[in-house]
Amino acid sequence: MTPPRRRDAWLAVALQLALVAAVAGAAVWLVHHALETLRARGVRSGFDFLFDSAGFSLSEGWIAFDAGQPFWRAFLAGLVNTVRAAVPAVAIAVTVGTLLGIGRLASHALLRGICGAYVELVRNVPLLLQLLMLYFALTQLLPDATEPLELLPGIWLGKGGLALPWPVDGRWEWPERGTFGVTGGAALSPEYLAITLALGFYSAAFVAEIVRAGIGSVARGQVLAAQALGLTGAQELRLVVLPQALRVIVPALTNQLLSLTKNSSLAVAVGYPELVSVANTSLNSTGRAFECIAVVMAVYLALSLAISAAMNRYNAHVALRGWS
């Protein structure tokens, strides 16, 4: 006979699968109904355009794309560009946000004030405005591409973007300053830098508050016990406070990472060729507004579900477990 717990678990899985199937079926029906309505009104519809030649190219990206390739490859290149900007932005947001959150609880009044001022300033100014201001700074205030700043050996910054050493054919290729600019290595465009940095530092302000709340949720007795054991402040934070604070931090952090990924669509404002930018160009080329929007919605839904699944798995790993 099946144990009650196992039976309940199988029942829960079956109900979830049935719900997913129902939602997927409803989505398929809605798409089919919308396409049939458009055809009935004489409007060309369908996703067959995805296999036609796009007729436009992308300014940058990890996937090579030219005008003769199909639309589906353009959407794929746009998706890769979205992920290419979102992943470093997540790293910036989590790292800077954690430091800011800890800084807001520091005993040093000046440090607390600086961290608090950053959080209040950044989170209360719309992300789009910050993105445009950062893009203006990168393209107008930096030196010309022919006279870039050398931040570190082999790292150049100018209006043309950021040049970095990059492995090529098993060896490191270092950027070199030439007559007409920097050549060699990897080049990060101002558009890419603007969206990545804006997303990262904007989200860091929200992550800081999440971290601060998580640390504040740890019982004072745990801190006193760590101090009684003779742990240093850094050891106390790393070994006692943060591991327990994660149970509060991770669920809220999941929502913030989802928001960050979806906010990457604002990159269209500075001309970075991410998913929404590709969809806009495809829509103008084909007139398939419904189809292009549907593709973007489906891709963002898939990205959000993947992030949620990964963070939920991590949350289950770090969650405190009670007595069984």
Report DSSP letters for 43-110, one per residue: ---SSGGGGSB-----S--SS---TTSBHHHHHHHHHHHHHHHHHHHHHHHHHHHHHHHHHTT-S-HH
Helix (H, G, I), strand (E, B) or coil at 161: strand
Tokens read off for 180: 């007409």
- Could you give the CA distance from residue 322 to residue 245 in angstroms, rounded to a whole number? 16
Helix (H, G, I), strand (E, B) or coil at 167: strand
**What is the phi/psi pair of residue 161, to 5°?**
115, -160
Q: What is the pLDDT along the chain (324 residues), one digit of tens a residue?
A: 556 677 777 877 787 778 778 877 877 777 767 777 767 776 667 788 999 999 999 989 888 898 999 999 999 999 999 999 999 999 999 999 999 999 999 888 999 999 999 999 999 999 999 999 999 999 999 999 888 999 999 899 999 899 999 888 888 899 988 888 888 888 999 999 999 999 999 999 999 999 999 998 888 888 788 878 888 878 888 888 888 888 889 999 999 999 999 999 999 999 999 999 999 999 999 888 888 999 999 999 999 999 999 998 888 887 765 433
Tell me the whole-structure pTM to 2 decimals.
0.85
Query: 172 forms bridges with which residues in the sheet?
Result: 167
